[in-house]
Amino acid sequence: MGRILALDYGSKRTGIAVTDELQLIASGLTTVPTLSLLDFLSKYLADEQVELILIGEPKQKDGNHSSIEGEIQKFIKKFSKAFPKYPIKRVDERYTSKMAFQTMIDSGLKKKQRQNKALVDEISATIILQEYLYNK
């Protein structure tokens, strides 16, 4: 059984989370500059057995897609062309950034640490992955 990789795609940074091989535990992996995302994934997918890619689907409260959806669709096309063997699933990511920030508060991080947007993105990707595992 391979890992599941989750992406919280952003125009500047993308948070990445991954499961263990048994797909039981979701853990934050890293945050990478979005411009380097395909390079990072190329190296990661060469080293690790991954069975599924989850990509957050940003929606507004009314259910309409957020403005970044066009960028995500372009990325999905590039990714699918470069890595055709990996299936992609989309996961509703509404409120994950707020949940990530609250998680940081609840875990006792100081205000300066909570301003680390890369950490928020990584935690958001982990929440997306946890939601998927819970509802799978």
Of residues 106 and 6, more confidently modeled: 6
Q: Which range of residues forms the domain containing residue 112?
A: 3-135
**Those residues with Cβ within 8 angstroms of residue 103's Cβ, 6 or more apart along the chain or in another chain:** 123, 127
Q: Angle, nearest 10°, between helix axes 69-82 and 37-47?
A: 40
For the segment 24-50, the average pLDDT, to the nearest whole number, is 96
Percentage of the chain with pLDDT > 90?
61
pLDDT exceeds cutoff 80 at 116: no
Write the CATH number for 49: 3.30.420.140
Q: Which two tokens stand for residue 75?
A: 């990325």
Q: How many domains does the chain have?
A: 1
pTM: 0.86
